[in-house]
Structure 1
Amino acid sequence: MPVDTVEEYADGLCYTDLMAGYYLGAPDEVLQAIADYSAWFFVWDDRHDRYVVHGRAGAWRRLRDRLHTALDSPRSHLHHEDALVAAFADSVGRLYAILPGTWNARFARHFHAVIDAYDREFHNRTHGIVPGVEEYLALRRLTFAHWIWTDLVEASAGCELPPAVRKHPSYRRAALLSQEFAAWYNDLCSLSKELAGGEVHNLGISLITHDEMTLEEATAELRNRIQECVVEFMVAEGEALRFADGLADGTVRGKELGIAVRTCVGNMRNWFSSVYWFHHESGRYAVDSWDDRSTPPYVSNEAAGE
């Protein structure tokens, strides 16, 4: 954004407020690193959108490849000519400093998959392909970065969870539901904007196209799925907390893991309230007040990064 646009819109977008509500209890420097990374993610999403809208396939491929490279070597990209790449390297480098290298490798693996998913979305959008419902749901778990945000609950708790804990069905289920709620609520709140822009990537649009629903029926179905996430999470949360209690086996390590899992599950719960608040407070979704319902007024159509 130009400087005057930042002054007018940045605070109203509430990006850092969103993270502050997700990751309660994190040390200030950790929360700042997560918040900066989240703000970067929104900017990257807008850049990707502009490249789709204006058919800048070459620019997108260059950005995609640069992000893949910067993810594996952030230090060497801190002064990259594209500010988006440099900012990514800076935020990833700070996230990598929080937990051990094994967590960093997992985060990198998960984000490489996110970049590839954005590449598939670019292809679908530029070719007018609306994914089927199940295909879309699987892809959305990547474009929304489900496992990245779940990795970061460990960073906010200051504890890398071992695979046996992280992959336990009760913990995994609670994590997935918190993210599904966030992604589908985002689709619900973005539906007007994305229909106005001729979009193809939204659960509501997949339901309309492939299940032959009306807009009203698709909206109702989205709401039902979102409500079911809330109900199912409360069951999964109880199971995950009982699992956490079982980790406290009388050893110091067991006690630490039990506390860490409780902290992580607590922040999974925080996703629900923070996501709901954000979508009704952030100017990112105030489509009724925009001159063009398909494009937020703060988004520039300039060929950023070229």
Structure 2
Amino acid sequence: MQAFPRSTTATATAVVVPPSLALPVIESSFPRQLHPYWPKLQEKTRLWLLEKRLMPADKVAEYADGLCYTDLMAGYYLGAPDEVLQAIADYSAWFFVWDDRHDRDIVHGRAADWQRLRNRLHTALDAPRSHLHHPDPLVAGFAESVLRLYGFLPHTWNQRFARHFHAVIEAYDREFHNRAEGRIPGVGEYLALRRLTFAHWIWTDLLEPSAGCELPDTVRRNPAYRRAALLSQEFAAWYNDLCSLPKEIAGDEVHNLGISLITHAGLTLEEAVEEIRRRVEGCVSEFTEAERNALALARQIDDGTVRGRELSTAVRTCVGNMRNWFSSVYWFHHESGRYMVDSWDDRATPPYVTNEAAGEK
């Protein structure tokens, strides 16, 4: 069925959502918005990928816009200053390239290359300025994007971001070993790991520079705020699993909720797909109540002081963007060439990646 009247990519064709992946509630109740900076964002991130040598020029020219990485961020962080959104979009593009390097290192058995990269990213996260000219473009690009993100809010936010991303790197290492050993984690283990590999708390942290305000722990850890944030991220991770299941089965992946359900819960493929859909739809319905509670928290915070009004406004902005994440993630999965497995020459090899090892030996 034709689900959305237009695409944000250069082509003006309507987006067709397969019935098995369609979520009418998203299409009707979570209207999609795009940051007005988006066209410039797309152009500048494309140039950044070239400048940082994160993708070969021919791959950038052919695939960068169609991968829709900037669309995803422009549909999420509404209201962000242009320079903040640009830094987030470049970092997000880097994240996808890193994910692809991780995948190719696994596929080609490059364990030493991965361990070298893992260690360098940990070091660059704590000292980005000293890694801006690293010979591995992935390390240098990471350092540059992180350094920009570190410039928007106080050092306490930077420390939290670094702590959260150190955990993401280690989760990717656990994924590496699971895939190298052909080990499929159990459902509970997988769900805990997924919160890290999908970087739930990184994307939630980035709501704050978008709102121009670091939220205190009392707000971020408040059950009302945390529940809304978690539901928006769980929706994204599980919907990603639903959409990427064919790609990941073709690539002998072991990390997908569907694969864990089939292996450890004894479900058929059809039953696993239905269970993921149930969880995805549950996130949407539960978010509506969580959103109300988080907005009630924002009203409570506004105590008439300047600080109270500032925090209240920031919380409302963050919660509004949690809502935007649902529609942005949904449409991204049906516009991005990242999930169009049936159009690839080799269903196990994305056409936008390079298979060569990279980085200084």
TM-score category of the 2 structures, normalised to the smaller one: over 0.9
Q: Helix, strand or coil: the match of 1:268?
A: helix
Residue by residue over 1:65-115, the C-alpha shift from the partner in whole angstroms, topping out at 9 and shown as x without a partner, is 000000000000000000000000000000000000000000000000000
Deviation of 1:2 after TM superposition, in Å, equals 2.3
**Corresponding residue for 2:109?**
55
**Corresponding residue for 1:278?**
332
Residue by residue over 1:173-231, the C-alpha shift from the partner in whole angstroms, topping out at 9 and shown as x without a partner, is 00000000000011111100110111100000000000011110000111110000000
Contact 1:193 1:295 in 2 (8 A): no
Runs of 4+ in structure 1 deviating by more than 2 angstroms, as ranges, are: none
Q: What is the rounded CA distance, in whole Å, between the counterparts of 1:150 and 1:298 in structure 2?
A: 28
| Residue 222 of structure 2 is aligned to residue 168 of structure 1 | yes
Unaligned residue ranges in structure 1 (runs of 5+) = none
Deviation of 1:269 after TM superposition, in Å, equals 0.4
Task: Choose the corresponding residue for 1:10, options 64, 69, 84.
Answer: 64
Q: After the TM superposition, which residues 52-131 of structure 1 pair with which residues of structure 2 at under 5 Å, given as runs?
A: 52-131=106-185
**Corresponding residue for 1:227?**
281
Greater Cα offset, 287-296 or 150-159: 287-296
**2:313 alignment partner AA:** I
Q: What is the rounded CA distance, in whole Å, between the counterparts of 1:18 and 1:57 in structure 2?
A: 31
| Residue 342 of structure 2 is aligned to residue 288 of structure 1 | yes
**Corresponding residue for 1:36?**
90
**Corresponding residue for 1:244?**
298
Q: What is the rounded CA distance, in whole Å, between the counterparts of 1:21 and 1:91 in structure 2?
A: 20
Q: Helix, strand or coil: the match of 1:22?
A: coil
Q: What is the rounded CA distance, in whole Å, between the counterparts of 1:294 and 1:218 in structure 2?
A: 21
**1:5 alignment partner AA:** K
**Corresponding residue for 1:259?**
313
Q: What is the rounded CA distance, in whole Å, between the counterparts of 1:193 and 1:14 in structure 2?
A: 18
Deviation of 1:294 after TM superposition, in Å, equals 1.9
Q: Helix, strand or coil: the match of 2:75?
A: helix
User: Aligned-residue CA RMSD in angstroms?
Assistant: 0.7
Deviation of 1:304 after TM superposition, in Å, equals 2.0
Q: After the TM superposition, which residues 12-27 of structure 1 pair with which residues of structure 2 at under 5 Å, given as runs?
A: 12-27=66-81
Q: After the TM superposition, which residues 139-154 of structure 1 pair with which residues of structure 2 at under 5 Å, given as runs?
A: 139-154=193-208
Q: What is the rounded CA distance, in whole Å, between the counterparts of 2:162 and 2:337 in structure 1?
A: 30
Contact 1:74 1:93 in 2 (8 A): yes
Task: Kindly tell me the number of residue pairs found equivalent between the two proteins.
Answer: 306
Q: Identity of paired residues, percent?
A: 79
**1:157 alignment partner AA:** A
Unaligned residue ranges in structure 2 (runs of 5+) = 1-54
Q: What is the rounded CA distance, in whole Å, between the counterparts of 2:176 and 2:59 in structure 1?
A: 27
**Corresponding residue for 1:302?**
356
TM-score by length of 1: 0.99
